[in-house]
Every structure is written in structure tokens, then in C-alpha cells.
Structure 1
Amino acid sequence: MTLRPPAADTAPARTTDAPEIVRIGPRKAPDLHRTPSLVVESASRRYRSVPALDSVSLSLSPGEIVALVGHSGSGKSTLLRLIAGLERPDAGRILINGNEVSGPSIFVPPERRGVGMMFQDYALFPHLTVLKNVLFGVRGLPAIDARAAALQALTRVGLRDRENDYPHMLSGGEQQRVALARALVPQPNLLLMDEPFSNLDRRTRDVIRDQTGAVLRESGTSSILVTHDPDDAMRVADRIMMMQAGRIVQSGTAEELYRRPKSLSVARFFSELTEISGVRRDGVVDTPVGRFPAPPGADGDNVIVCVRPRGIKLFDHTIGLQSGRVLSGQCLGDTVLVDIAVEGLDQPLRAQVPADDAPAPGHLTGFEVDTDEVLVFPAD
């Protein structure tokens, strides 16, 4: 495991696109038939009387990338620290490649777990060149072999020509890729990434995030990504685990968590919503924007109808049965977020529409709701 150096001043991230990652091998998919790279069994951790992690269980297949998502305090960083060996669980077991590393009677220290770490601030040594930073992650190889492995790792992340530069000469995205190369060069059993993209500007973040996912899949490295950004999870991970109050409340693919969230809190995390209160009657709920199937329950139960902005289609107000007055529009480039005042709603109905179809503020507009973009949950 790479030791964490003192934090160094870094240059601002450039807004230009990063160079393409150089592919040096075939893409590898998760192997579901081999011994899991990681197994966590009923792990718990308390700080004084406060439970930070409450009997969490999970497993990773070899080569699988899993994202832990959730708001601050949900337990995701605590879980990462237990897996890395930076803290001991109060209960439960952790196995890496079938070997128990934490349990009631065993605790393997971090440096003996074969776990790579990527930190939020990249943790590069400012006084070492790019090559020497990557070499810092190599142990037990002859110098010539270590250098070859480090150069191969830099080639993989597209920075072979920057080996003699120092961290302050690199953009934020380039520093992140050096940190990735350093974490991968020892060929760890497992790579743990704690908010690795949070210090990048939006444009650079999109490029580096996609390239990181490509490198991890190409190398076949089992990885856990901790993030509070749903875009990070949906674009990088094979599987997403949503955490809340120290527990995993839902696990699945990006499509499963987006299309079939099990709770309102999961739905809110992955999408902007217009939330409308209603009452269940005869299996449906009537709202000012339409009638929708209600979740199982009794008549009179309070429910919340959630409408995604992309599920609203606008057209001439004289055509449809439903209409509202446009309050404002926010240009997002190819699309516009339109807020519409609808009679009977306490808040505006938000629609995301193509820029060419966006009506001007003050105009009346007709609308219809795509039921595939509507979610209904019990109010509790």
C-alpha cells in the first residue's frame, strides 16, 4: 500500500481535454466465477455511542468496479478505511482474495493487504519527478524491472512523455493520472479510491473519469470508488451501492438504481425531481399533472409522486388538456430547464426540453407527462 506523503501545492487544473489513454492490452470484464476479490461480512463500526457502520455485507468479483455513494455521514468512507486496514471493525470479518484480513481474532496491517489507495488530493511527493513518484509504489523488484513497470504504468495512463516533470508542472487531471499509475504499478489485489475526481473542474473531470474507468477495466483491477457524485458512479462503476445511516440501502447497476429506486432518498440522489403530494385511492393517485399507479397500500395512504424533468413534453397549449404558464428558463446548452406554474401545484413543474422547443417566460404551454419517468413512493 502506498504511504501518504505530506500534501503538496498543486497547479490549477487545465480546462483542455487530456490526451487519450494508451491501450496496452484487451479490456477485461469482471470474473463472476472466481474467488471474490473482497468479502465484507456484517462489518460494524461505532465512534463512542454513534454507529458509523451497521452490519454491512458486500462482495466484489475479480475485475469489478463498485461505487459506494451516499451523502456525507452515510458510512462510505468508514467502510473504505476498514477495508484498507486503517481502522479495525468492532464486529464482522473482511476477506481479500479469500484471506481473512480483519476479524475477531485477526488483523492484518494495511501494508500487508495488497491494497492500493488513491486519495482525494492525489498525495504526490512535490520533490520527486513523475517517474520517481510512480516508482515509490514499487517494492521488491530489481531497479531495471521496477523502472520498466513504472514506465509501462505511465504509458497506460498516457503520461510516458512526462516522466521527468514534477507535480507542480502538471494539471490537476495529469496529477490524478500519475496517482492512478502509482496505485496500479504494484498490481494490487484491490484498489480503493476516495473521491478521486472531486478536485477537478467539470470539463477535466468528465474526461479523466472516463479514462480512469477504461484503465481499470483494461487492467482488470478490482476497485471501490467512494463518491458523493452520482455521475461518477454511473459512468465508472459496474455496480453501485447506495449507503444511508451506515447501511447499504440498495445495490445494483446504474440503470437499476435510476429506473427502479427502492426509496425516495435513492431516487432523489440520482435525479432531480418535482415532488407532488397525493393520496392513494383505488390503487391510483390523482394529481394536477395526471393520474398514476400508486404503490401497494391502503386507501387514504399519503404518497409522493416524483416527476423527472426529462419526462415532461411541451407543446402548444391549445392542443392538450393540461397547461401552465412558463415562469423561467435556464439554458444548459442543447437543453433548457423550464419552470412551469401549474394550477393546483405548490411548486413549479420543472421540464427539461430541447433548446429549440423551449417557450419564453410568460407564455402558456401545454404539457404531458411520460409515465415511464414518474416514480411514486409512500410518504413515509
Structure 2
Amino acid sequence: MTEAATFPPSGPNYYFVERAGSKRLVIFFSGTGQRNGRFEFWKAGREVEENLLFVSDGRNHWYQDGVAGLGTTIEETIASIQAWCERNSVDEIVTVGASMGGYGAVLYGGMLKAKVLAFSFDTLLRLPTSPSWRLMPKDAVMRYSDLVPAIQQAGVPINVFVGEMYPIDVVAAQRLVNLPNVKVESLRGVGHGSARFIHLALGVKTVVGMVATGTPIPPLQEKGSMCESPELVDLLHRAHVAFFEKDLAACLKLCRQALRVSPRSEIFHYLLGRTYLGLKRMSAAIKHLNYAAGRSPEFEDGQFFHAQALRIAKYNKQAIPLFEQQIGKWPNAARLPFNLAISYERVGRNAEALEQMRRAVLLQPSYETKLADMRERIQKRGGIDGGPRNTEGIRGYIASLIS
């Protein structure tokens, strides 16, 4: 762009909201996959009664090439934002983002001398198994591959939240804990969606206001301590990589070692349960996944694999109410009605099994062959016979596991 101050008020990758009388600009950086005028934090962010700027990087370049419409480079984009602030008498900036947006909030926030609120983001791009490793195009040029030097140079206050159930986020955040201008808080039982968790717990508007005014964010019941232990983070990283590489023996050993140090750690119980599940040691898998699920009710994968382990072990009557509850919380996850359909079929609730398999197909068309196979099996057994609805609870079963 030729003139930093002459861009229109909105474009496919950015959108300004002007608020009369506000001397503050809050910039919300979107995560991956947002394009064509779609932005994260759109609803919650608009509740913040300040000047607002929503930005996205639809190419998933981790904001290395600026924000289209504001600049073709980081420097041009920074200049455009600064020109807008000068024109509108704005003298304070807050940047907010999650995942790729968290990376953008930290990088641009430092350059803009802003106050920063960032959730669950990479601090070292393309670290194996990280979001940028999986989603950043191979031809994307990394101008700032490591955020630590940029953070040290900027010296701006940065508030970071990460979920302890997403190992690579913990590894990324642990690199920041000794930086004096960064406050890192990990959350027990929370995965990559730490931003959503904080919004539900405190509200984005409230937390942004606290960051803007320098008010301490109150500690939550889920406050963890994982990032304060380099030993545990190292074990977590190694166990996570071993599991990813299907080295289940190594993962088993590392998780057991970690639980000797931190016996109540939900993430290590979860990884251990997943490892036992891979090894088809079902009693051990159910025991550890039950613990992780009980301690992490908002962690979708933990809830799912606990129920799946029960299904695989043929505890279908116990798995069914768990899958039903999960569908209520995560209605767009195709794996839930798919697994529920299998459990329904195995206890003779054939009509409900077909209904759930159809639901799975609507969410994920690749399940169509599974639906056809299920129809054929049911027809061979004599057609639909729903049978009595199962009302058996799971309290006795869970009590037997922890007794």
C-alpha cells in the first residue's frame, strides 16, 4: 500500500470498529483458517467498549507477511496501525489472540508497544507436532521463527494462558516463564482452547479490561503448576513425541516416571490411558482415562477416549450415557454419534443406532459405508427392534474403579 493512513475501514482480512471517546485500540488476532471477512473473537470482542481492530491471516502464514489490506509486510502493517491510532488520537494498544492469533498478538504487540493477552500459541515455529508444524504452508517464509528474542527486546507486559492437556502448548509456554515481562499461567484439565475456557470463566471483556488497566487477573480453581517444573515439561514433551511416533513402550515409561513426580497430573494419566489403549490393555486404559476424564470435564479428547475405551472393552451400557452427554456438549463432533451408534447396536437399540449413524454421516460423509454396513447387519438380524431404553447409570462402575 502507498499511504499507511488511506486504507478503507474494512477489508477481507481486517475490520475496524471506531468508538467515540475511546483512546485505546484493542486488536484481536484470529487463529488459523479465518478468511473472507471472518474473524475470531467477533462476538465476544465487540462487547469490549473500545476502538477495535479484528485481523486475520487466511493463508496461515502466522502473520509473517503482514495483514492483507494493511500492509504486505509486518513493518507496513505496523505503520498502518500506528497511522490509524495517530489519526484517531489513540495512545494505548492491547493485542489479543489465541493459537496462531496468540503468536500474532505477541509479535505485533511487542512492535506496537502494546499490552498483550495471548492464549495457547507457538513460541518456536514449526516445532514438530505444533500447530505451525502441521498447518503452516511449507513455502511460507519465517521472518520471526522464535518469539523469545522479540519478547525480550520489546519488554512489553504479556499475559499468557495455556491448557496443560495440550502438551506442545506447555512446551512453548515454558520457554517464557523466566522472562520478567511475561506472566504464564497453565490451566489444569484444559486443552488448546484456553481462550474459550477463560471467556466462559471470566469473560473476554473483563479480562481485556484487566490487561488494559494492569489489574491482576484473579487465579482460577484450575490454575496449574506444570510450567513451573522444567523436569515435568521435559518428560511431557518426550512422552508426547513418543506417543506421536507410536513408540508406546517409551511413552509408557516416561508417563510412569512423571506420575512418580506428580501423581495427580491429568495429562500424564491421559497419555498413559491412551498408551494402554494402543496396547489393548483395556483395564489399565479405562482406569487412567477415567481419572483424566473425571478431573477434566471440559477436555473433549479425554471425555471421548474414556467412553471409547469402555465401548471397546464391551462396557456399552456404561459408554452410552457418556457419549450421550458428550454429544450435548460437542454436537459437531462426528466421532461421537458414530461411536454411540456402535454401542446402541451392541445393546440391541437398533433404531437409535441407525439414527446416530445417519447423524454421523451428515457431519462426516465418509461414514456412509459404515451406515450401509450397519443397515445390512440389522436387516440380517431381522430388522429394527429398539428394545427397552437403557437407564443404567455409571456411578457403581466408576466407584469400583476408584475403590
TM-score using structure 2 length: 0.29
Q: Which has the higher contact order (CA 8 A, sep 6+)?
A: 1
Structure with greater strand share of residues: 1
Structure with greater helix share of residues: 2
